[in-house]
């Protein structure tokens, strides 16, 4: 079974600074997808960024980027120019490339505080 | 925009009651999921469904059952609520492809007294 580990229960960053959230996973599969989701306080969880395991290039979405190290099974999220609206709980998730396996495995989450 | 709605944001029930949590999605997604979110434990999958009347157990199905009679609706049932089922329950839906994102509902915070 796959496992996802987020080793930082809480992180804080100064507004306009850069912060990196860590995620490691364990799998024996070669085909899979990795996701970062954001859950703002009292709001719905939304997708931040997605990475296909077969792609060597790291995914980027505006101020959000990932550092995907497949051999190390590491998938960290970098938030540049942090904004107050980035304050949220962030979840790393793994999803198998087997199309019959629709479910994802989530980490325990990292609560990010942004200081003005 | 995809919309996933859950029948209640807050719910208070008594031990032993039968509890129904409803989830509806409007994007014709094949997959639907029920998660439980507890502090320090992340999201744990209770059940998921990949088609009407089809369901599979997740990681923590004990004490729960589900129903999917229509594609857009996925219900979570607590047959006899217990205090250890006090939690935040999140519903999600997605298309069937593994690279597709999951779309989440706002959550139901259930308290069992």
pLDDT in tens, B46-105: 999 998 988 999 999 999 999 999 999 999 999 999 999 999 999 999 988 878 889 999
- Beta-sheet pairing, B108-112 with B10-13: parallel
For chains A and B, count residue pairs whose Cβ atoms are closer than 8 Å: 60
Contact criterion met (CB below 8 Å) for B36 and B43:
yes
Q: Say if residues A21 and A38 touch (Cβ distance below 8 Å).
A: no
Q: For position B2, what pLDDT does the model report?
A: 67
Q: How far apart are CA A69 and CA B23, in angstroms?
A: 37
Residues on chain A touching B106 (C-beta within 8 angstroms): 43-44
Q: How many CA atoms lie within 13 A of B65 on its CB side?
A: 6
Which residue of chain A comes nearest to B97, CA vs CA?
Answer: A99
Residue to substitute from A7, A24, A90, A103, interface B, most B β-carbons within 10 A: A103
Chain B residues with beta carbon closer than 8 angstroms to that of A47: 101-102
User: CA–CA separation, A18 vs A12, rounded Å?
Assistant: 10
Residue of A nearest to B36 (CA): A106
The alpha carbon of residue A24 is apart from the nearest alpha carbon of chain B, in Å, by 15
CA dist A30 → A53, A59, B6 (Å)? 7, 18, 35
- Record: contact B33-A103, CB cut-off 8 A: yes
H/E element, A14: strand A10-14
Q: According to the model, what pLDDT value does residue A97 have? A: 84
Q: Exposed/middle/buried for A7, CB within 10 Å: 0-12, 13-18, 19+? A: exposed
């Amino acid at each position: 079974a796959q496992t996802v580990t987020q080793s930082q229960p809480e992180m804080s960053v100064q507004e306009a600074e850069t912060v990196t959230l860590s995620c490691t996973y364990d799998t024996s599969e070669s085909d899979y997808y990795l996701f970062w989701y954001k859950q703002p306080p009292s709001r719905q969880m939304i997708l931040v960024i997605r990475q296909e395991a077969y792609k060597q290039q790291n995914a980027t979405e505006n101020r959000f980027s990932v550092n995907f190290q497949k051999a190390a099974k590491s998938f960290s999220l970098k938030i540049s120019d942090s904004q107050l609206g980035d304050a949220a709980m962030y979840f790393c998730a793994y999803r198998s490339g087997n199309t019959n396996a629709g479910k994802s495995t989530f980490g325990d989450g990292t609560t990010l505080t942004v200081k003005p | 925009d995809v919309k996933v709605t859950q029948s209640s944001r807050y719910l208070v029930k008594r031990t032993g009651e039968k509890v129904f949590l409803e989830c509806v999605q409007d994007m014709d997604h094949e997959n639907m999921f029920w998660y439980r979110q507890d502090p320090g434990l992340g999201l744990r999958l209770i059940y998921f469904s990949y088609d009407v009347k089809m369901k599979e157990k997740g990681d923590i199905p004990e004490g729960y059952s589900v129903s999917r009679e229509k594609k857009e609706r996925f219900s979570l049932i607590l047959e006899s609520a217990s205090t250890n089922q006090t939690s935040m329950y999140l519903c999600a839906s997605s298309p069937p492809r593994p690279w597709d994102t999951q779309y989440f509902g706002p959550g139901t915070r259930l308290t069992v007294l």
